[in-house]
A and B are shown apart, each in its own frame.
Chain A
Amino acid sequence: MTPIDGADTAWMLISTALVLLMTPALAFFYGGLVRGKNALNTMMMSVVSFAFVGVGWALVGYSLAFAEGTPWLGSFARAGLQGVGLEAFGGKFPHVLYMAYQGTFAIVTAALISGAIVERMRFSAYIAFITLWSLVVYAPVAHWVWGGGWLATMGALDFAGGTVVHINAAAAALVAAAMMGPRKDYARQAILPHNVPFVLLGAGLLWFGWFGFNGGSAYAASPGAALAFANTFLAPMATLLVWTLLDLKRSGKVTAVGAATAMVVGLVAITPAAGLVSPISALALGAFAAVPSYYAILFRSRTRLDDSLDVVAAHGVGGTVGALLTGILAEKAWGSPADGLLFGNPRQLGIQAVAVLAAIVFSGAVSFVLLKLISLFVPLRVTPREEGLGLDVTQHGEEGYARGEGALLILPEASKPSSSTALVAGLQPEGGRS
């Protein structure tokens, strides 16, 4: 029996908390990018993932991903967390911690999809979608790569989830954005971010959390974790630098929304490679990854595809570039199980490409079926009227920035159906102005 190591356990405890922070961080990142009337709805799309994906993970998802099964899927052997105890699993730390750590990945991955469908998706349909998606798409793909499935056997390298998390979510995002159609104002009027400081706050917190995402994926307080940590520090800096230069060249101005996007793209790109490439390769990888995503965003905004917050350009393109560059830059000398193309193993690049394609095809196809299925029970979109008013009021009965003027307090007695005249406190507005 594997002994429990105190240092490993401590690091994985911290990493789990760090990755958990990425979901509220994503809420700020996405929330700042939408219009003020949809701020709460957008943030809630991330927050609600804790509830539905998190509980689904504990009850079924974890078992489907990590219990022994076929090369394609785990089994129900660990459903309801059966046998997930204090013994070592996945490293020299308790099984229950491994389950929690993996759960934080499932939660943030499902939340990532929301960026493609903000400002128009009905909240109940969204909940149904991410809950089902986490069980029938995320869990199998996690099994393929990390649960001893067919991609693991084939030798695909995905250190912390470039394929499982980012490409997987981006494929679902692409399909969802295409099926939902664009927002009613899309390409008719400018739709501007309502709080750019929130976007930078979210991107900064994402980076902080990502140290647990990549560093924790060494599953030990080890030199490998240190390498992943250092590479997570270096790659986004290089991406930000190149992005800044591209911004300067294009418009002569360095944008804040661009900087926030660049940090996320760099983090996405280094994710599959974090513990497998040298620090200098991480810098190169980060620098290179800026270019395709930068131009993908420019291109996408001229199309009818309203992937509103550019999940595909940031996570799909960035994730694919990262996964392929992992197949080029990986080095056994830095702890990778296999060398990449640059170090004499061209076959690795092919394996990486197969893994990327498999995730895109599977996630895209199943997401399509899930959305079709859900649309049989509830419309995927809110009505145009609700879209105009904003989803904060229509979906949640709250406002992100309520001033409270003209808000009449309804006393508990008044909420009973028997009282037809509402008993209200405070001033009645004057009836004259109408």
Chain B
Amino acid sequence: MKLVVAVIRPDKLNDVLEALFRAEVRGLTITRVDGHGGETERVENYRGTTVKMELSEKVRIEIGVSNHFVEPTVKAILAAAASGEVGDGKIFVLPVEKVYRIRTGEQDEAAVTPVVAALA
């Protein structure tokens, strides 16, 4: 099992969700975060105050997947989240020691395998 963590642009979130859905990746968590990935800082003005915005809004997606699902998941995010400009984000793939599904107590592979009935 792996935990795929992606940090992407907020305006690409819908595209990524759609791509993940098409890749049949189910079950994910998103968080609104602020981050800095080397993109050119925005300069904003408020009355006499000029500020450089070093942090940009990003969305962090976390997906627990079984090993053979890592590649399709990463591919889907790579294709959907790219705009070609600095600041598109990163994907991290982390090893996972243990996974439990809270509802059933299932563990590991069984815990990250989508339940078909749950979709109905």
**Interface positions of A (Cβ within 8 A of B):** 185, 188-189, 385, 388-390, 393, 397-399, 402-403, 405-410, 415, 422, 424, 429, 433-434
Contacts and interface: CB of A to CB of B under 8 A. Distances in A.
Nearest to A397: B44
B38 interface: yes
Given A405-B55, A409-B51, A433-B36, A185 B14 contact: yes
A429 B42 contact: no
A406 B42 contact: no
Contacts of B45: 397-398
A398 B54 contact: no
A390 B51 CA distance: 18
A390 B53 CA distance: 15
Contact of B38 (A398, A410, A434): A434
Interface string B23-47: 0000000000011111000111110
B97 to A, nearest CB: 24
B11 interface: yes
Nearest to A422: B52
Contact of B52 (A385, A403, A424, A433): A424
B83 interface: yes
A434 B55 contact: no
Contacts of A185: 14
B14 A188 contact: yes
Interface size class, chain B: 20 to 34
B50 interface: yes
Interface string B81-95: 001010000100000
Interface of B: 9, 11-12, 14, 34-38, 42-46, 49-55, 83, 85, 90
A189 B13 CA distance: 11
A185 B43 CA distance: 26
Contacts of B54: 406-408, 429
Contacts, number: 59
10 contacts: A185-B14, A189-B14, A385-B83, A397-B42, A397-B45, A398-B46, A408-B54, A410-B51, A429-B55, A433-B36
Nearest to B84: A385
B7 to A, nearest CB: 10
Contact of B50 (A388, A393, A405, A415): A415
A424 B34 CA distance: 20
Nearest to A404: B51
A425 to B, nearest CB: 10
Closest 5 CB pairs of A and B: A406-B55, A388-B11, A407-B51, A406-B54, A189-B14
Contacts of A422: 52
A185 B55 CA distance: 25
B55 A389 contact: no
Given A385-B85, A389-B11, A434-B37, A399 B50 contact: no
Nearest to A415: B50
Nearest to B43: A397
Contacts of A409: 49-51
A293 B18 CA distance: 34
Given A398-B44, A398-B46, A406 B34 contact: yes
B48 to A, nearest CB: 9
A389 B55 CA distance: 14
Contacts of B55: 405-407, 429
B14 A433 contact: no
B44 A402 contact: yes
Contacts of B85: 385
Given A385-B85, A388-B11, A434-B37, A410 B44 contact: no
A424 B44 CA distance: 14
B44 A406 contact: no
A291 to B, nearest CB: 34
A129 to B, nearest CB: 25
Given A188-B14, A388-B9, A433 B35 contact: yes
